[in-house]
Amino acid sequence: MVFRVTVISVQVTQVPQPAASPEPREPAAPRESAAPLKNARRLAVLGDSTAVGLGDPLPHRGGWRGVGPLVAEALGVGEDGYLNPSFTGARMNCVLSQQLPLVLAHRPDVALMVVGMNDTLRPDFDAARISADLTEIIRTLAAAGTTVVPVRFHDHGKVFRLPQALKRALSARVAELNAAIDSVVATEGVPCLDLDTMPGAYDLTAWSVDRLHPSELGHRMLAVGFTALLADAGFAVPEPVSLTCSGGVEPSAAGHFGWLVAKGVPWLWRRGREFLPYAAVIMWRSFRGHAG
């Protein structure tokens, strides 16, 4: 008996398994948008005669305008929100002891400071004390939520006409003042307007007849510098400051002469007598350096 075996070939095709479902992902975090700009509702200006506005006289009604009202207008600060307790002759300690309490009661969003030059002209100049006073001013205002913007100064000897010995002495004293300000600004992390590097700072058109205070253009330049720093700090500047002069009063030749006789010469004589001992030391050091 013969048996036949038929072999049936079966081809098995592997059925692909369904792909695993991807792990669920966390929804993407929304992209952070730029922080909204802060609006300054209250502004205070502290300091000396430059802070008062000397050099930028108002027409018709007299008095001074200066950098403060220009910055207030640029920030949109109303008249009720503006405070300026500065006064001529003020020194750093005057700001701390007399002006700061008034400013704290005002609760400003922004405080501008222009002070220090009067300290450089006095025989009791003390850079360490200036540094300590400035630190206390900035910390006190910062604790109250105020953005403080001080200035560091240009070389006044390049602008104001002084005998060479006084010019060298003043330049050295301003350098000491700036070193104190720089140290405080770096430690406290506040913006600072550097007048030495401000465009046009040494142009004569930026200065009034006395060469001590900014002209209207000079005050406008200060206002541009301050508002640029405030914009960097996140404040809205809805009305940028223009450098086109308008609304001020150009002193006449008679006004120049009157200021020189009534104010300039007496001031130079008074401050010169106070400053001469320091100038003499600078001269002596210079002489010894050349002799050596």
CATH number of residue 58's parent domain: 3.40.50.1110
Nearest to 193 by CA among 227, 226, 218: 226
| Structural domain includes residue 1 | no
pLDDT over 90 for what percent of the chain? 57
| Structural domain includes residue 289 | no
Buried-exposed string 136-161: b where 16+ CB fall within 10 A, e elsewhere:
ebbebbeeeebbbbbbbbbbbbebee
Beta bridge partners of 194: 152
Task: Give me the number of domains the chain comprises.
Answer: 1
| Structural domain includes residue 158 | yes
Q: What is the pLDDT of residues 32-58, one digit of tens each?
A: 556 789 999 999 999 999 999 998 888
Please report the pLDDT score of residue 63 as a whole number.
84
CA distances from 191 to 37, 87, 148, 181, 232 (A): 17, 23, 7, 11, 9
For residue 250, name the pLDDT band (cuts at 50, 70, 90). Answer: low
Please report the pLDDT score of residue 211 as a whole number.
76
Q: What is the pLDDT of residues 190-229, one digit of tens each?
A: 999 999 999 999 898 898 877 778 999 999 999 999 999 9
- What gap in Å lies between CA 113 and CA 127, rounded to an integer? 17
Task: Give me the mean pLDDT over the 21-39 stretch.
Answer: 60
Task: Give me the mean pLDDT over the 261-278 stretch.
Answer: 53
Evaluate if residue 247 carries a pLDDT over 50.
yes
Q: Which is more confidently placed, 61 or 286?
A: 61
Please report the pLDDT score of residue 167 as a whole number.
79
Evaluate if residue 142 carries a pLDDT over 90.
yes
Please report the pLDDT score of residue 35 as a whole number.
77
| Structural domain includes residue 172 | yes
Residue 159: domain span: 43-283
* pTM, 2 dp: 0.77
| Structural domain includes residue 33 | no
Please report the pLDDT score of residue 158 as a whole number.
82
Beta strands at 147-149 and 151-152: parallel, antiparallel or unpaired: unpaired
| Structural domain includes residue 241 | yes
Q: Which is more confidently placed, 122 or 182?
A: 182
Question: What are the tokens at 206?
Answer: 């930026």
* 170-174, 239-243, 246-250: which is most confident: 239-243
Beta bridge partners of 152: 194
| Structural domain includes residue 18 | no
| Structural domain includes residue 61 | yes
